[in-house]
Amino acid sequence: MTATFPDLHMPPRLLAPGGTPTDLRTHEDRYGPVPQAAADDILRLVAESGLTGRGGAAFPVHRKLLSVAAAGHRTGRTPVVIANGAEGEPASRKDRTLLRLSPHLVLDGIQLAAAATGAGEAHLALEEGAPDLESALTHRRDPVPVKVVRLPGRFLSGQSSALARYVGGGAALPAYHNPPIRERGVHRAPTLVQNVETLAHLALIARYGPDWFRTAGAQAQPGSALCTIHMPGHEPHVVEAPFGTPLHRLMPLHGTSAVLLGGYHGTWLPTPEAASRTLDATTMGAGVLMGLPTDRCGLKETAGILRYLASQSAGQCGPCLNGLPRISAAFTTLAEPGPQGSTRTDVARWSGLVEGRGACHHPDGTVRLVRSALTTFAPELDAHARGFCTEDH
Ligand SMILES: Cc1cc2nc3c(=O)[nH]c(=O)nc-3n(C[C@H](O)[C@H](O)[C@H](O)COP(=O)(O)O)c2cc1C
Ligand code: SF4
């Protein structure tokens, strides 16, 4: 896997030039020390920058920082920061690439998020990789202590309430949270969970300001994002691109019949539609783009992903326990050529029944994938019903 940058008329911001990991001395030579700023100043810079989260939901960062800081003042409990480097999405490589190449940008961002919220401790949560992070931390003199937390390797480990539970000594499983963890999370303290890429952007905004940040991207969606690109016949690679970049400039679309945008909780688009789309914070999820080769069956691909997603459910809520295995099994039937009976309508109906009914968004993300597959691969479904499949030709 390599970290490359296509010809997008923008130098990479987050990924170290030349694909070489950046040690602390090089980092400080390049960027200078972490700016010392008051909480209100950091909050203002973030609000003006328009930075949104890069962990999948594109939530405005300043709103989350503000609510954690406010909950800290209201409750008298010192907030906790969790940097989310779990990267549980199997098709994503961007967070581990960022942590390998530019760990100190993430660690700077953690300190700035802690200063903005008044946090007294921070945790950097990772599934695997980044073995040098502990040593990167020992070279720094940070005011807020940061602990590296190694998570169990599961799709759900990176969900925010699962992280808060795990850091607090419990299982890495999502939980119903009322009030939300930004008000009462780790050891009942207000808890900020922010994706590692989001924190790295914060480290640059604090240095160069919101106007600089907005020189990339679109007015409504400023800045750039890391994307993991899967092209047929190539190793996945990570690129950094401004929002608004046409998808066809991020990856060549010839030789593909569809593109999975956003990863396993994402959306299938037929290639002609993908060719007309741009990189958009609200649809890119965690930044995965995966091209489906023309000789592969999208229904079989989707069935494989659904089996994985159903197997990853924590089995705590009805929709996941009953609904996802049932949807997955039915989809496996649709993926094989042959009579379909009522399976197609069953899958659509069950999708409606599980949506919005879990303690976390795992069922919702799964349903998003299912619905897009039923639409994008409708011609393939018809062919299967007649006993034919793309892969058989
Ligand atoms: C099932 C599930 C898995 C998730 N996995 C991750 C993950 O691996 N990494 C991540 O940053 N966010 C993940 N998220 C999103 C987090 O819950 C949270 O919204 C995010 O870390 C917040 O950071 P951001 O606002 O900077 O994006 C996941 C969400 C769900 C529902
Ligand atoms: S919705 Fe599913 S994955 Fe989420 S907490 Fe409930 S059982 Fe677990």
Residues, the chain: 393
Q: Work out the percent of the chain whose per-residue pLDDT is above 90.
A: 84
Tokens of 377: 């691969």
Best residue among 51, 65, 84 to mutate for probing ligand 1's pocket (most ligand atoms within 8 Å of CB) is 84
Contact 242, 8 (CB under 8 A): yes
Give the distance (Å) from ligand 1 centre to CA of residue 158.
Answer: 5
Domains annotated on the chain, with CATH: 17-213 (3.40.50.11540), 298-392 (1.20.1440.230)
Confidence of residue 4 (pLDDT cuts 50, 70, 90): very low
CB atoms within 10 A of CB 125: 25
- Ligand with smallest separation from the Cα of 318: 2
Give the distance (Å) from ligand 2 centre to CA of residue 315.
Answer: 6
pLDDT for residue 8: 58
CB atoms within 10 A of CB 393: 6
Answer yes or no: is the C-beta of 316 below 6 A from any ligand 2 atom. yes
Tokens of 292: 């489906």
Sheet holding 80-85, edge to edge: 146-150, 121-126, 80-85, 191-195
Residues whose beta carbon lies within 6 Å of some atom of ligand 1: 53-57, 59, 84, 86-89, 156, 158-160, 193-195, 198, 360-362
Confidence of residue 9 (pLDDT cuts 50, 70, 90): low
Residue 159 has pLDDT above 90, yes or no: yes
| Residues 58, 60: Cα–Cα separation, whole Å | 6
Average pLDDT estimate for 236-243:
94
| Residues 381, 377: Cα–Cα separation, whole Å | 6
From residue 304, alpha-carbon distances to 130, 219, 237, 351, 358 in Å are 28, 38, 22, 17, 22
Q: What is the pLDDT of residues 259-288, one digit of tens each?
A: 999 999 999 999 999 999 999 999 999 999
Give the angle subtended at the CA of 97 by the CAs of 241 and 368, to the nearest 5°.
65
| Residues 282, 58: Cα–Cα separation, whole Å | 6
Q: What is the DSSP letter of 323?
A: I
Q: Which one, of 361, 287, 254, 274, lies nearest residue 89 by Cα?
A: 287
Give the angle subtended at the CA of 222 by the CAs of 267 and 207, to the nearest 5°.
130
Q: Is residue 232 classed as helix, strand or coil in its secondary structure?
A: coil
Closest ligand 2 atom, CA of 324?
2
Tokens of 307: 């089996």
- E-state strands within the chain: 80-85, 121-126, 146-150, 191-195, 224-230, 237-242, 256-261, 267-270, 288-293
Q: What is the pLDDT of residues 69-101, one digit of tens each?
A: 999 999 999 999 999 999 999 999 999 999 999
